[in-house]
Amino acid sequence: MKRVNLLIRSFIVVSLVWSVTAHAESDTDVDSDTDDSDWFEIAPEDLLPEELPENLHWETNNEDPEFASPDAIRGGTFHTWMISFPKTMRPVGPNSNGYFAGTLRPLQFTPVAIHPNTRKPIPMLATHWALGDDGRSFYFRIHPDARWSDGERVTADDFVFMLQFMRSKNINDPWYNNYYTERVTDLKKYDELTFGVRGADAKPYIEMLDSVNLRPYPEHFHELSDAWVKDFNWKPEPTTGPYHVDVVENGKYVELARTENWWANELRYVRNRFNPERVRYTMIRDMNTAWLHFLGGELDTFGLTIPEFWHDKADTDDFKKGYVAKYWYYHRLPVPAAALYLNTAMPLLDDKNIRYGLAHSINIQRVIDKVLRGDYERLPTFQLGFGPYDNTSIKPREFDLNKAKEYFAKAGFVSRDRNGIRVKKNDAGKVIARLSFTITYGRPIHTDRLVVLKEEAKKAGVELKLELLDATASFSKMLEKKHQIAWLTWSSSGFSPRYWEHFHSANANVTQNNNVTNTSIPEMDPLILKFRASTNLEERIGLAHKLEQMVHDHGAVIPTYQVPYTREAMWRWIELPDWLGTETSGSLANTQATSQGYSSGGLFWINEDKKKEILALKNKGEAMEPLTIIDETYRIFPSEDADEAKEGE
Amino acid sequence: MVQISSVFKLSLDPQTVKQWKRFRSIKRGYFSAVFLVFLLLLSCFAELLVNSRALIVSYDGKWYFPTYSWFISGDTFGLDYDWETNYRELKQHFKEQDEGNWVLMPLVPYDPFENDFSNTYGAERPSWETKHYLGTDTAGRDVLARLVYGFRIALGFSLVLLTCSYIAGIAIGCAMGYWGGAFDLVFQRLIEIWNTIPFLYVIMIVASVVVPNFWTLVIVMVLFGWTAMTWNMRTSTYKEKAREYVNAARALGSGNARVVGVHILPNTISVIVTFIPFSIAGGIAALTALDYLGFGLPPPTPSWGELLRKGTQSLDHPWIVWSVAIAIIVILLMVTFIGEAIREAFDPKKFTYYE
C-alpha cells in the first residue's frame, strides 16, 4: 500500500506541468547521527542474485542508421542564455531541481539511450545489455574505454556507489532516497565492468530498460558526509558525456567545455555530434532583453515558439537580409494532454449526452485561430505522440451547435431561461436543472482562452463560470475531485501512453490521484490492466488504440490543443544537417546528451568562416537570400487550413 | 426618526449653508463633484449606453426593447439560429433587406464580455469605423465597455465598503470616546493588535482558497478597514463629550443614545464628511490594486486593475494601458479635488496653511 501511495505521489509530482518542482526542493532536516543505511530495508526477493545469471541474452545495437551529419565542423563557442542563475552545481539535494538542472543532468551519459528515429535502444556508456528472467532486472556491460572527464575509468563501482549515494541521508533529498529504495531495489557489481539493476515491478521492455537506465556517480569524486550538501555546492562533477562544467562565474555565466580526447568521440551514434568546443550560458533575467542580445549577435539562437515572437518580432532587418534563419520544425514527442476534464461524479456530468453536448459547445478552434493566431493545433485524442501507439483514426468532436442541441435535448434540456441558458423542466413546468458549469484553472494567462470558450458556449445555451485559483490550490481542488470541469494539462513522457492513473476505476471517487474525471468503466478496467502488464508490443499497441477509443466514447475528456513543433531563430553561421533534426528533436539547438530519453541533441555546428563572412556582409549592409524553413516531415496531422495560413506568412 | 429629523434640521442650519456656499466657491472641487455625480448616474444606466443588445428593434411592425428584457433568440427576427441575437449583424441584415425593419444600437454597441475578432487577432487599435473607440484588449473585448462597467463596479464597491466600514468605525469610535475608561482602553489595544494583521496576506490567502466575489472582498476589506475611522471618531467624541451642551442634555435627562445620536454625532459630521472622498478614492484604488495583482474579482468581471495588468503585459498595444491609466488618474484626481474643497469648506478657520 505504501508503495502504491508513493507511486501515485511520484506520478503526481512528475505529471504536473506547472507544478512547482516539489520533490527536490525540500529542506527537511535530516538526523545525521543515524547510521546511513539503517533507515530502509529491502526484502530478499527484491535483491539480485549473487552470481551473474548464465543464460542471459546479451544485446546491442549497431544496425540503426546514424543521424548526425558527416559535414559537421568541430569547434567554436556556442552562446545561449538562461533566465536565472543556478543555485548549486550539485545534481541532487536542496535547490538542485531548478531551471539549470535541465542542463546539468544531461551532461552525463547513461548506459543506453533511445535512438531518436527508430526508438530502439542504442549503446552509450554500456556496450551490451540483457534482460533478466524476472522481467524487472537488467544487466549491463560497461564500455571498456569509458572515462570520466577527469580521466578516471568508469567502472561498476561507480554504479554501486550511485545507489549508495542516492540512498544516503547525507544528500538531504528524501525524494531520491525514497525512489532509490522503493523503485530501484538493488544494484550489484559482478566484475569490473559488469553490473545489474533490479526495479520494483516488471514493465514492458523499453519502459523497464528506461527505468533502470541510471547514470553512474563518480566514486572517486564525491565524499559523502554531513557536509556534502555544503561542500559540493559549487564543485561541478566530472562527466561521462561530451561536456563538463568548466567555468562558473557567479551571477554572470556558466561555461561548458568539451572534454579533451573524449572517450566516446568515435562511437557509432555519437560521432559528428556535440560539435562546439565550448557552450556558454549567459544569465539574462528577461526574455525581451535576451531577444535584444540575440539581435546583437551575442546569442546564436533564440526560441520562437511564442506566436508574438515568430510573427511580429522576428521580422527585423537581420531576418529580411537573410543573416538570421527561421526554422519551424515538427517533431513527434509525447504531447502534453491539454484538455477539459469533466468530473463524471458531478450531477449532470454523469450523463453522457451532456458530456457530448458540452464537447460540441466548446469552440477550441476559435481559440486556436484567434487567441493563439492559428499556431496551435487541435488535439484529437487524450494521449498522442507515442509513435505506433497513437490512435490517429479518432476525430475530435468539433464545435457544432446543432449536435449540441440534439444531445442536450436527449438529456431533457429543451428550453432556455432569461439569459439564454438551457434548462430542464419537470412536468409542472418548474426548472429543475440548468446547464451551468464551473471551469477550474490555475494559470491567469489562460483567461483569454477561457473567456472565448465561455462566450461561445452561451450560443449553445451553456453557462461556463470561470474559477481561477492559485496554481497549487486549483490542482489540489482537482485532486480532491471537487471540481466540475478542470482545465488542465498533464505532462506527457515515457514511451507509451498511460491509462491506469487516469482512467482505472481503482482511482475513481478516491481523492489524491490523477483520475480527475472519476472515470470508472467496468469494461475498461481489465484492458487497462492487460495493457500495463503486457510486454508484447503488438498487443500493447492494439490495446492502446482500443483504450483511446473508449476514452473518446466516454466523452469525459475534451482534448484542446497541442504544439507539436519547435520554432527557432538561428544566425546563419549555425549550420544544421540537411534533415535539420530527428523525429524526437524537442529543439534543434541543444547540446544535451539525451532529452526526454532520446539521444537527439548536438547535431548542429558552428561555421566560423561563415560567421566572418556574414558579419562582413552585415557591416556593408549587403543582403543574402532570406531563409525560413518549415519542415513537416514528422507532422502527424497535416491540415490544409494551416498550410494556407503559413503561405500567407 | 430622531436622527433623520436632526439631519434635516442640520441642512437648514446657517452654518451648513455657509459651508455649502464655500464649497461651491471652490470651482475645481465643485465641478469635479458635479462631473463625478453625473458619471455615477450615467453608469447606473450603462446598459443603455454601452451594450451589445439593441435599444429598440422594430421588426414586422412590432417593437422590441432587449436591453433589460429576456434574451431574444435570433429566430425571433427571422435569423437561422436560436441563441442570443447578434444585434450588430441584425442591423446590417435589416439594412441589406431594406424592408422597413430597423435596429437602434447604443452609442457603444459592445458589451464588456464578448470577443470581437472580426478584424484582427486579439487586440485591435481604437477606431471609429468599428466603434471600438478605445480599441479592444488581447481577448478582443471592447476597452471602453470594460472601462465603463469596471468603473461602475469599482464605484459601487467603494460606496458599499465606505458605508459598512463607516457604520462600524463610527459606532465603535463613538462608544470608545463616549464611555472612555476600561472600554476605551480595551478597544484601543484590540484595534492595535488587529491592525498588525497584514491585510494583503489575508486577501491572498482567501483568494487562493475560494474565488473572491464582490461580497467576500467587501467583507474582508470591512473587517480590516473599519479601524481607521475609530481613532478620529474617538477623539472628536471625547472632545464633544466635555462640552457644556452635552452636560445640559444629560441634565435634562437624555439617555446615552440620544446624547450621542442627536447631540454629539451632528457635531462631528465635519470630520466624517472630510474623510468620505478620500475613502472612496481609497476603495477604488484598493480594488484596482487587488485586481491588478490577481486577487480581486474573478475573471471575466470587467475591472480596471485587470485592464491595467493586461495593458502593462502587452505594451505593444498601448491603447489598453493608456485608456485605463488616464481613467484612473482623472477619477482619483477629481476625488482629491472634491476632498480638498470639502476640507476647506468645513474648516472652522478661514485662513489655513492651504491657501
Q: Within its chain, how far is the Cα of A192 from the centroid? A: 35
Interface test with chain B among A20, A470, A482, A484, by most B beta carbons within 10 Å: A470
Q: Which chain B residues are closer than 8 Å to A366 by Cβ?
A: 117
Residue-wise pLDDT tens digits, A22-72: 333 333 333 444 446 667 788 888 889 999 999 899 999 999 999 999 999
Are A370 and B82 in contact (CB < 8 Å)?
no
Q: Which of A312, A366, A468 has its CB closest to that of B298?
A: A468
Residue B146 to residues A12, A86, A586: CA-CA distances in angstroms?
39, 42, 40
Nearest CA-CA partner of A184 in A156, A169, A203, A157: A203
Are A308 and B300 in contact (CB < 8 Å)?
no
Residue-wise pLDDT tens digits, A553-593: 999 999 999 999 999 999 999 999 999 999 999 899 988 88
Residue-wise pLDDT tens digits, A65-103: 999 999 999 999 999 999 889 989 999 988 887 778 888
The torsion of the CA quartet B50, B52, B55, B61, rounded to 10 degrees, works out to: 170
Least confident of A44-48, A292-296, B185-189: A44-48
Residue A566's identity, in one-letter code, is T
Residue of B nearest to A444 (CA): B294
Instruction: Name which residue leads in pLDDT, A504 or B200.
Output: A504
Q: Which chain B residues are closer than 8 Å to A459 by Cβ?
A: 81, 83-84
Residues 6+ apart with CB under 8 A from A467: A438, A439, A440, A441, A474, B211, B298
Q: Which three cell numbers stand for residue A450?
A: 477561457
DSSP designation for A309: I
Are A416 and B73 in contact (CB < 8 Å)?
yes
Whether the pLDDT of residue A645 is over 50: the answer is no
User: What are the two backbone dihedrals, phi and then psi, of residue A63, each rounded to the nearest 5 degrees?
Assistant: -105, -25
Inter-chain Cβ pairs, chain A and chain B, closer than 8 A: 75
Q: What is the pLDDT of residue B354?
A: 52
Neighbours of A41 (CB within 10 A): 8
In the predicted model, what is the mean pLDDT of residues A307-319?
A: 87
Partner residues linked to B338 by β-bridges: none
Q: What is the pLDDT of residue B349?
A: 66
Q: Which of B73, B140, B299 has its CB closest to that of A466?
A: B299
Phi-psi sector, B122: left (phi>0), alpha (psi -120 to 50), beta: left
What kind and span of H or E run contains A166? helix A156-167
Are A370 and B140 in contact (CB < 8 Å)?
yes
Coil, strand, or helix at residue A627?
A: strand
Q: Within its chain, how far is the Cα of A120 from the centroid? A: 18
State how far residue A467 is from chain B, nearest Cα, in angstroms.
6
Q: Which three cell numbers stand for residue A434?
A: 440548468
Q: What is the pLDDT of residue B294?
A: 82
In the predicted model, what is the mean pLDDT of residues A611-615?
A: 93
Nearest CA-CA partner of A229 in A27, A470, A43, A17: A27
Q: What is the pLDDT of residue B350?
A: 61
Q: Cβ(A253)–Cβ(A298) under 8 Å?
A: no
Full strand arrangement of the beta sheet holding A253-258 = A77-82, A278-283, A253-258, A243-249
Whether the pLDDT of residue B249 is over 80: the answer is yes
Q: Cβ(B247)–Cβ(B182) under 8 Å?
A: no
Are A459 and B300 in contact (CB < 8 Å)?
no
DSSP designation for A355: H
Q: Report percent pLDDT > 90 for chain A.
A: 65
Look-up of cell digits 433568440: B73
Nearest CA-CA partner of A130 in A141, A122, A119: A141
Whether the pLDDT of residue A19 is over 60: the answer is no
Whether the pLDDT of residue B351 is over 90: the answer is no
Average pLDDT score, chain B: 86
Neighbours of B313 (CB within 10 A): 14
First to last CA, chain B: 40
Are A366 and B298 in contact (CB < 8 Å)?
no
Q: Which three cell numbers stand for residue A132?
A: 533478466
Contacts 24+ apart (CB under 8 A), B322-326: B323/B134, B323/B135, B323/B143, B323/B144, B323/B147, B324/B143, B324/B147
| Strand A605-606 versus strand A485-490 pairing type | unpaired
Q: What is the pLDDT of residue B299?
A: 85
Q: What is the CA radius of gyration of chain B?
A: 25
DSSP designation for B76: G
Enumerate residues 112 to 131 of chain B having a beta carbon within 8 A of any beta carbon in chain A: 113-115, 117, 121-122
Rounded Cα gap, residues B274 and A419, in angstroms = 43
Q: What is the pLDDT of residue A29?
A: 38
Partner residues linked to A82 by β-bridges: A283
Q: What is the pLDDT of residue A25?
A: 36
Q: Which three cell numbers stand for residue A99?
A: 531551471
Residue A581's identity, in one-letter code, is G
Rounded Cα gap, residues A591 and A108, in angstroms = 12
Half-sphere exposure of B210 (CA within 13 A, CB side): 10
User: What number of helices (H) and strands (E) belong to chain A?
Assistant: 19, 26
Q: What is the pLDDT of residue A166?
A: 94
Residues 6+ apart with CB under 8 A from B93: B79
State how far residue B38 is from chain A, nearest Cα, in angstroms.
30
Rounded Cα gap, residues A615 and A606, in angstroms = 14
Residues 6+ apart with CB under 8 A from A184: A163, A166, A197, A198, A199, A200, A211, A212, A214
Q: What is the pLDDT of residue A268?
A: 92
Whether the pLDDT of residue B126 is over 50: the answer is yes
Are B83 and A447 in contact (CB < 8 Å)?
no
Coil, strand, or helix at residue A611?
A: helix
Q: Cβ(B87)–Cβ(B57) under 8 Å?
A: yes
DSSP designation for B142: B
Q: Which chain B residues are closer than 8 Å to A467 by Cβ?
A: 211, 298
State how far residue B115 is from chain A, nearest Cα, in angstroms.
6
State how far residue B334 is from chain A, nearest Cα, in angstroms.
32
Coil, strand, or helix at residue B185?
A: helix
User: What are the two backbone dihedrals, phi and then psi, of residue A598, each rounded to the nearest 5 degrees?
Assistant: -100, 140
Partner residues linked to A243 by β-bridges: A258
In the predicted model, what is the mean pLDDT of residues A336-360?
A: 95
Phi-psi sector, A373: left (phi>0), alpha (psi -120 to 50), beta: left
Q: Which chain B residues are closer than 8 Å to A446 by Cβ?
A: none
Q: Is B139's Cβ below 8 Å from some Cβ in A? A: yes
Strands, E assignment, A169-270: 184-191, 194-199, 243-249, 253-258
Residue-wise pLDDT tens digits, A445-489: 899 899 999 999 999 999 999 998 878 888 889 999 999 999 999
pLDDT band per the 50, 70, 90 thresholds, residue B254? confident
Q: Which three cell numbers stand for residue B168?
A: 462600524
Q: Which chain A residues are closer than 8 Å to B139 by Cβ?
A: 371, 447-448, 451-452
Partner residues linked to A567 by β-bridges: A328
Q: What is the pLDDT of residue A368?
A: 92
What kind and span of H or E run contains A215? none
User: What secondary structure does DSSP assign to A106-142, as a single string?
Assistant: GGS--SEEE-TTT--EEESSEEEEEE-TTSSEEEEEE
Rounded Cα gap, residues A159 and B154, in angstroms = 64
Residue of B nearest to A470 (CA): B208
Residues 6+ apart with CB under 8 A from A622: A321
Whether the pLDDT of residue A11 is over 50: the answer is no
Residue A442 to residues A247, A278, A367, A635, B209: CA-CA distances in angstroms?
39, 40, 18, 30, 12
Are B207 and A455 in contact (CB < 8 Å)?
no
Q: What is the pLDDT of residue B225?
A: 86
Nearest CA-CA partner of B217 in B158, B175, B148: B158
In the predicted model, what is the mean pLDDT of residues A149-157?
A: 95
Q: Within its chain, how far is the Cα of A363 from the centroid? A: 27
The torsion of the CA quartet A376, A378, A383, A388, rounded to 10 degrees, works out to: -90
Whether the pLDDT of residue A16 is over 70: the answer is no
DSSP designation for A22: -
Rounded Cα gap, residues B212 and B208, in angstroms = 9
Q: Within its chain, how far is the Cα of A430 from the centroid? A: 50
Residue of A nearest to B123 (CA): A371
